[in-house]
A and B are shown apart, each in its own frame.
Chain A
Amino acid sequence: MSELSHQLQLTEEPSGPDLGLGARGHWRQRHRLLSSLTRGQGLAGVGMIGVIVLVGLLAPLLTPWHPVQQIPGSHLVPPGGDHLFGTDQLSRDIASRVFYGIRASLLVAVVAVPAGTLLGVLVGVVATWHPLSDLLTQRVFDLVLAFPALILGILLSVVAGPGMLTVIVVIVIAETPIVGRLVRSQVLRVRELSYVDTAQVMGAGGGWVLRRHVLPNVLEPIGVHVALAFSGAIFAESAMSFLGLGVRPPAPSLGGVIADSLLYLEVRPWFALAPLTVVVALSVGFYLIAQALGKASRG
């Protein structure tokens, strides 16, 4: 190995030969996770999500129709011509409803996932503070995780009524214990590492160790999880809107369009095609990203 060779030869020569090489591998190494998104699976995921996000953002430019606008004489028109994906049972343009529905789905995910993650990190760190706080948070997590998220959603919408906020709250509640557990176990793991011990012995306080050593090392697994959580959030939002617990009609949502199409599945199968494709593509896209990140972080 080169280590030995220059350890033996060097009579205090100022720069070892291997030191020049380090700089090249830098970007790859420092941003191992991000660089995994520039190829293969990761790139495919980013591409899918990118296209859908663009469509959502540019919705007003892509379709002349307003999502709740009823177009006289266009009852359940098949795809083609004026209506890219046809029209629904209330003579509204499906393409427009799907494109605007993307906005609702993404909005929910973009608000709920970071909020849930942040809360999870906070609670996870608090859990490691003291055995008592650990016991308390762990039992609360058990309780929340015992309910399937959907049951929780139904419960909540009974109390608070359906709506986008309800969906966000449900996702945050379901997300927090998952991230919390993840953070807790990672903090406990990192705390035992030699460099944390060394820092404590040198007189560093708990805050320093947490901020400078523990959290940066916890971020990687969380990053992987967040991508997965986006996939789950898209799915959860669609499912709740489908059940009428989420975005309230006539406001457009992917789940809502799928629900509308259900009655016509046999006679107008094209009705469900566009919203289903988008939901699946969003979920799969985020899932691919999560996979790529996970593989990269495992090395």
Chain B
Amino acid sequence: MVESTAPLLRIKDLAITFDPSGPRSDRAHAVAGLDLEIDPGEIVALVGESGSGKSLTARAVLGLLPEGARAEGSVVLGGTEVVGSDERTLNKLRGGIAAMVFQEPQTALNPVQTIGRQLVDAVRLRPGFSSATARARAIELLRAVEIPEPERRLVWYPHQLSGGQKQRVVIALALSGSPRLIIADEPTTALDVTVQAEILALLRRLRDETGTAILIITHNMGVVADLADRVVVLRDGGVVEHAEVETLFRSPTAEYTQHLLAAVPRLDVPPADLADASSAADARAPGGEEVALLDLDRVSVQYPARGRRAAFRALDGVSLRLTAGEVLGLVGESGSGKTTLGRVALGATAPSEGSVRLLGHDPRSLDRSELRALRRGIALVPQDPAASLDPRWTIQDCVAEPLVVHRAADVAGVRRRVAELLDAVHLPAAVARRRPAELSGGQRQRVALARALALSPRLVVADEPTSALDVSVQARVLELFNELRAEFGFAALFISHDLAVINEIAHRVAVLHAGQVVETGPTGTVFGDPAGDYTRRLVAAVPIPDPAIQRRSAVSSSTR
């Protein structure tokens, strides 16, 4: 019998192990000795960095562990023991007692069925629904997740919806069985920040109105501060700290939590003093005359129409200047043209209109060898360090590639230079003989930085260099970036969707929206006192990792 005071979910001494002969035997004990309780109507956040076991724990609640993984201990969900239960018992729990919302709405919906069909099918899994009442219920669910005109949307296919709307439909699917617990695994990670704010508001409202408890798994401390009542911090498969959300943010007790919170970049704190742009510029330009390293004048990039697909204007009349020693942050949501602008700055994409001057030259007027020479002065730090390093190459070869391509040094010189560069990014010399797969994500991004700096470029284009990294690793890479900039004196175009990261690293910022620069200026001014409407919305949507501030702003923005 379940008493009314009993927790909805009680995890006791949970251990998840991988079959030692299986594919992930490196993580023999993925989770060990984990305790967790969730009461009805409560929002609990499970926080941790990659490999902390947070997703595994969540999956264990519904008996959805990947192949080769085994759970021990006890997971009692709504009075039923999950560990060791057969599929029939589990199927009764899934959807009815607890439902799951996954990270990527793109793959959670079937692309060839209408959302109405998928909702009706989910509703009819429960007894007592005819096809007519199931349809009514589907409409009701869509209304609950605030999809406008639900009757008409029923016949839409997933591709007709935006990312945020898709995630709403996924949540509607989760709600179809009227679960008492929703397990949301990074539900907003794939979404833009303004959309994330809407989804978080929706989750909070669902809890307030229906009393559904929520277990949210996230790496984003801002999301935690926004939504959670209680927080469980995981590390290496064990609970490090367990506290009320206010307590955790105000006075974290575990050293790890303190580190984690300190590593989170913040938008509400003025940036730490960056090395002054003008002094660095003086050091680089002895002539005294300031030459823009990157000068875009009303640049447009249009991708031509293809078949039935209409022409797409990725950039529309963008004008930007970047002078020596300066870091220009480029923020914008997905589809705003950030990456295209980065490619223009690299000379990899030619503008369809307007003029581009890179390091004082128009790339279109240069012949092949001049263009190659120009490329020596511009380097790219790519987004995903794992994909940007050839898996077959040693780190030595990866870092040396620009030197060899440009025949910048002899064999001994290359060796020496690589050693210098690895030292500059604080990697041990022994790394040179390893291959990318043997390094961690943070170490790989250091290698990518070392490679970018090999030819001492004057301009570095960094395209979301930290978005694939854990927050504590990100903090160290950003720190290193600043350090290297002071040492090497390069200017940078730093592209990121994360306003807080830009806040920490850029002197000036340009806000990109639908291919246009809507606002540009010193970072502190743009983020502290945004002039444009879009920028204001963007800044307001960023969750601040401090529950006291975040709750206040959430209330004020919802009443506005």
Known A-B contacts A198-B382, A202-B402, A204-B401; the reply to A12 vs B426 at CB < 8 A is yes
- B428 near A5 with CB under 8 A, answer no
Name the CB-closest residue of A to B383. A194
The yes or no answer to B159 lying at the interface (CB within 8 A) is no
- Which residues of B have CB within 8 Å of A3? 50-51, 440-443, 470, 473
Name the CB-closest residue of A to B454. A202
- A29 near B384 with CB under 8 A, answer no
Within 8 A of A (CB), among B31-72: 49-52
The yes or no answer to A80 lying at the interface (CB within 8 A) is no
Partner of B472, one of A8, A14, A29, A198: A8
The yes or no answer to B2 lying at the interface (CB within 8 A) is no
Listed stretches B114-122, B140-148, B241-249, B386-394; interface member: B386-394
Known A-B contacts A4-B470, A15-B428, A194-B387; the reply to A22 vs B402 at CB < 8 A is no
- A202 near B442 with CB under 8 A, answer no
Give a binary string over B345-374; 1 marks a CB under 8 Å from any A CB, 0 the rest.
010100000000000000000000001100
Least Cβ–Cβ distance between A85 and chain B, in angstroms: 44
A69 to B438, CA, bound (A): 62
- A202 near B379 with CB under 8 A, answer yes
The yes or no answer to B283 lying at the interface (CB within 8 A) is no
Known A-B contacts A12-B426, A16-B428; the reply to A195 vs B389 at CB < 8 A is yes
Known A-B contacts A8-B256, A195-B388, A199-B401; the reply to A29 vs B435 at CB < 8 A is yes
- Which residues of A have CB within 8 Å of B380? 198, 201-202
- A5 near B401 with CB under 8 A, answer no
- Which residues of B have CB within 8 Å of A197? 382, 388
A2 to B50, CA, bound (A): 10
- A213 near B51 with CB under 8 A, answer no
Known A-B contacts A1-B50, A194-B388, A198-B380; the reply to A7 vs B440 at CB < 8 A is yes
Known A-B contacts A4-B470, A195-B390, A202-B380; the reply to A22 vs B438 at CB < 8 A is yes
Partner of A208, one of B49, B388, B405, B443: B405
The yes or no answer to A217 lying at the interface (CB within 8 A) is yes
Least Cβ–Cβ distance between B381 and chain A, in angstroms: 9
Known A-B contacts A1-B236, A29-B437, A194-B384; the reply to A19 vs B379 at CB < 8 A is no
A contact residues, total (Cβ < 8 Å): 34
A194 to B384, CA, bound (A): 8
A199 to B406, CA, bound (A): 11
- Which residues of A have CB within 8 Å of B51? 1, 3-4
The yes or no answer to A131 lying at the interface (CB within 8 A) is no
Known A-B contacts A193-B387, A195-B387, A195-B390; the reply to A19 vs B437 at CB < 8 A is no
Partner of B259, one of A8, A195, A204, A205: A8
Give a binary string over A143-172; 1 marks a CB under 8 Å from any B CB, 0 the rest.
000000000000000000000000000000
The yes or no answer to A81 lying at the interface (CB within 8 A) is no
The yes or no answer to B313 lying at the interface (CB within 8 A) is no
A5 to B405, CA, bound (A): 37
A262 to B52, CA, bound (A): 68
Partner of B388, one of A12, A14, A198, A212: A198
A27 to B199, CA, bound (A): 48
- Which residues of B have CB within 8 Å of A200? 348
- Which residues of A have CB within 8 Å of B383? 194
Known A-B contacts A1-B236, A195-B389; the reply to A7 vs B428 at CB < 8 A is no
The yes or no answer to B376 lying at the interface (CB within 8 A) is yes
The yes or no answer to A216 lying at the interface (CB within 8 A) is yes
Name the CB-closest residue of B to A5. B236
- A194 near B382 with CB under 8 A, answer yes
The yes or no answer to B476 lying at the interface (CB within 8 A) is yes
- B473 near A19 with CB under 8 A, answer no
The yes or no answer to B168 lying at the interface (CB within 8 A) is no
Within 8 A of A (CB), among B532-553: none
The yes or no answer to A72 lying at the interface (CB within 8 A) is no
Within 8 A of A (CB), among B433-464: 434-435, 437-438, 440-443, 451
- Which residues of A have CB within 8 Å of B379? 202
The yes or no answer to B430 lying at the interface (CB within 8 A) is yes
- A203 near B346 with CB under 8 A, answer no
The yes or no answer to B513 lying at the interface (CB within 8 A) is no
The yes or no answer to A18 lying at the interface (CB within 8 A) is yes
- A203 near B472 with CB under 8 A, answer no
A4 to B256, CA, bound (A): 10
- Which residues of B have CB within 8 Å of A217? 390, 392
Give a binary string over B233-270; 1 marks a CB under 8 Å from any A CB, 0 the rest.
00110000000000000000000100100000000000
- Which residues of B have CB within 8 Å of A213? 390
The yes or no answer to B375 lying at the interface (CB within 8 A) is yes
- Which residues of B have CB within 8 Å of A8? 256, 259, 472
- B388 near A7 with CB under 8 A, answer no
A213 to B473, CA, bound (A): 29
A22 to B439, CA, bound (A): 9
Least Cβ–Cβ distance between B419 and chain A, in angstroms: 13
Least Cβ–Cβ distance between B124 and chain A, in angstroms: 39
The yes or no answer to B431 lying at the interface (CB within 8 A) is yes
- Which residues of B have CB within 8 Å of A30? 435
Most chain-B CB neighbours within 10 Å: which of A4, A15, A203, A213?
A4
Least Cβ–Cβ distance between B209 and chain A, in angstroms: 38
A7 to B51, CA, bound (A): 13
- Which residues of B have CB within 8 Å of A198? 380, 382, 388, 451
- Which residues of A have CB within 8 Å of B259? 8
A9 to B477, CA, bound (A): 15
- B388 near A201 with CB under 8 A, answer no
Name the CB-closest residue of B to A20. B430
Name the CB-closest residue of A to B260. A8
- A1 near B49 with CB under 8 A, answer yes
- B430 near A19 with CB under 8 A, answer yes
- Which residues of A have CB within 8 Å of B401? 199, 202, 204
- A4 near B387 with CB under 8 A, answer no
A33 to B399, CA, bound (A): 26
Partner of B473, one of A2, A7, A216: A7
- Which residues of B have CB within 8 Å of A216? 390, 392
- Which residues of B have CB within 8 Å of A5? 235-236
A194 to B464, CA, bound (A): 13
- B470 near A201 with CB under 8 A, answer no
Least Cβ–Cβ distance between B371 and chain A, in angstroms: 8
Within 8 A of B (CB), among A17-34: 18-19, 22, 25, 29-30
Least Cβ–Cβ distance between B357 and chain A, in angstroms: 18
Partner of B375, one of A4, A193, A201: A201
Least Cβ–Cβ distance between A110 and chain B, in angstroms: 27
Name the CB-closest residue of A to B402. A202
A2 to B378, CA, bound (A): 34
Name the CB-closest residue of B to A9. B259
Complex A-B: 26 CB contacts under 8 Å: A3-B50, A3-B441, A3-B473, A4-B52, A4-B235, A5-B235, A7-B442, A8-B256, A8-B472, A12-B426, A15-B430, A16-B440, A29-B437, A194-B382, A194-B383, A194-B388, A195-B387, A197-B388, A199-B401, A201-B375, A201-B378, A202-B375, A202-B402, A202-B405, A204-B401, A216-B390
- In the complex, the 5 A-B pairs of residues with the closest C-beta atoms, listed nearest first: A1-B51, A203-B375, A3-B440, A194-B387, A22-B438
B interface vs A, CB < 8 Å? 49-52, 235-236, 256, 259, 346, 348, 371-372, 375-376, 378-380, 382-384, 387-390, 392, 401-402, 405-406, 426, 428, 430-431, 434-435, 437-438, 440-443, 451, 470, 472-473, 476
Identify 14 new A-B residue pairs, CB closer than 8 A, beyond the known A3-B473, A8-B259: A1-B52, A3-B51, A4-B473, A5-B235, A7-B472, A22-B435, A29-B435, A193-B387, A195-B388, A202-B401, A203-B405, A204-B401, A213-B390, A216-B390
